[in-house]
Chains A and B, each alone.
Chain A
Amino acid sequence: MRISPTKFISLLFLVLSVFYLYTAYNIQVFAFDENAPFNARTFPIYLGWAGIILSSLKIILPEKVITEVNHKHLDYKSIIYLIIISLIYAAVILKIGYFISTSLFLFASYYFLGERRWGLMFILSFPFVAAFMYLLHGLLNIYLRDPFLKYIGVMG
């Protein structure tokens, strides 16, 4: 038997709802609130049950419209590269600072998406981020934390 992707997603949602409901029943409430008409558990419990009922219905009922996705037309390679670059960006942003990490992220993203015009790639990364930082920090007075630029004395 072949399970459609929509039903598989609904199954995952059912598992999530069961877990959510289990966690909801285990929320610690104050002793005096235990038998109150409404406490911190009430709303999550309703939601857990709603999730279970809706996902079960989606699994049980026949599909009226089947969403077909042709996986041959999906660009898995580019998206995986982009997600990995984003994760590395998130991991290093606090360590090497906003300016360098963001500029490198943009440069690497252009490269992995197939761009090879080096001059344009450079302009749309380092000077672009510098201009954006000036707009936020210099003109709009929005604080932008960058330990590296602070260390070298560019930012106050």
Chain B
Amino acid sequence: MIEGILIGLSTALSLTNILMVMVGCFAGTIIGMLPGLGPMTAIALMIPITYGFDPSTGLILMAGVYYGAVFGGSTSSILLNAPGIPGTVATAFDGYPMAQQGKAGKALAIAAYSSFAGGTISAIFLLVAAPSLSKVSLAFRSPDYFALMILGLTAISAFSSKGQFLKAMMMVVLGLMLATVGQDSLSDITRFTFNNMNLTDGISFVLIVMATFAMSEALTIIFRGKDPNRAAKQISLTELGSIKVNKEETIKMAKTIPRSSILGFLIGVLPGAGATIASFLAYGMERNYVNEEEKQKFGKGSVHGLSAPETANNAACSGSFVPLLTLGIPGSGTTAVMLGALLGFGIQPGPRLYQTNPEIFWSVIMSMYIGMVVLLILNLPLIPYIARILAVPRNYLIPLILFFSVTGIYLMSFNNFDIFLMIGIAVVATFLRLYDFPMPPLILAFVLGGLMEETLRRSLLISDGSPNFLWDRPITLIILLITITIVGWQIFSTFRKKN
């Protein structure tokens, strides 16, 4: 492991990669800060830029963007009560009241220190857990992988659906359907192309991400422009107050950070869960832990209430890399985008990544820690200046997002069919979002589609077409039982609420 850490450090500490972490954190902070734009959009917009890089550098840039976007989301939550991403909604509960009391600078500093601590502790967990889990996951066979993918898709549907599980499952099926367009990987038979040569290679992953996230988010912002409920409340961005944290506040943070980090990391590891659930759970858990006097301060600018979700959401980000790096199966929409980018570089993450490409495996883990340091050193002092980005008018912002989306696709294929297809999918996605059909399950399903068909094919061929493979192996059976429990729980909660 020491050797691996040294390999990772030497890769991550090269001048280019340090520069990439800094650029990634900075760009991610700016994009994540803009209400409506989250880490998935930020990473998607970076994909075209990473084409010219080697895989480690590209992935390091994207990891930096990921952390930066989560941090940026907290800034808009605290300053405007307009969370850039769902994972920072809980941050606004106590961060925004603090800002209203003239302590915006302090709230941002507490958020930054908590994010740093949460990210650092969970990066250490990842360092220890990932190699061991990689060895365990070598025991996984095709039926186990197939069951695990079913679990991941069911879990992301359950967690991202805001109580509308069926809608999320429909998006999963739509994502899998889109993944079947083009040549079948084994027989080379073309499917669902309708004799269109442009579809023979299938629909590109970048196209789907750009259409369902970057472009459709931009269109949604314009579409809902007249909605008075969505108009951001602007506070003075020039007077943020001091960013110094006193001794009493430091002690409060020191109590909150360890428990929120552990909770955040464990939630992040679970497929489908992630920063949003981790931050809400940490907020709820912290409220139960503190004394009665502190409890009364929750929702009115509590240090515990701000520190807990911020620590947990960053810890969950590191946790979500565990299933991606060890099993090759992303646990969240954001890591699904990263998986797609890795596949684009010709790298298949999974248990063997640890042995075949140790420099990538370790440099990503190391760059996470470096990213945390960069966020603290670079972004915290720059907050008063970065915060001004919130004043960028949407008249400029939206066309620029559309421009980056189209450029990303044009660079890939130099063909306008893909641009037309992207616009079409973006328009459909915009309407689906309007009626709360979630997009992360679609992305995860699209990314996993090929692998899922492959593992199902192998499992069925081994079992000679019999469905016995679903219960022959204990690991498969356990994973499927967990899946059934999640579905059962969704059905039960639906009926319970109805009654």
Contact = CB atoms under 8 A, between A and B. Distances in A.
Interface of A: 5-6, 9-10, 13, 17, 20, 23-24, 27-30, 33, 36-40, 42-44, 47, 50-51, 54-55, 57-58, 61-62, 64-65, 67, 69-70, 72-76, 78-79, 82-83, 86-87, 89-91, 93-94, 98, 102, 105-106, 109-110, 113-115, 120, 124, 129, 132, 136, 140-142, 144-145
Interface string B459-476: 011011100000000000
Contact of B398 (A17, A94, A109, A142): A109
B170 A113 contact: no
7 contacts: A13-B174, A40-B184, A51-B174, A79-B223, A93-B416, A105-B399, A110-B396
B485 interface: no
B163 A69 contact: no
B463 to A, nearest CB: 8
A132 B419 CA distance: 19
A54 B176 CA distance: 14
B2 interface: no
Contact of B189 (A40, A73, A91, A145): A40
A23 B419 CA distance: 25
B228 interface: yes
Interface in B413-432: 414-416, 419-420, 423, 427, 430-432
Nearest to B185: A40
Contacts of B497: 64
Contacts of A86: 402, 406, 419, 423
A125 B423 CA distance: 21
Given A75-B223, A90-B423, A65 B180 contact: no
B187 A29 contact: yes
B135 interface: no
Given A74-B223, A142-B411, A58 B166 contact: yes
B434 interface: yes
Given A89-B406, A90-B406, A43 B180 contact: yes
A142 B52 contact: yes
Given A93-B419, A115-B396, A10 B170 contact: yes
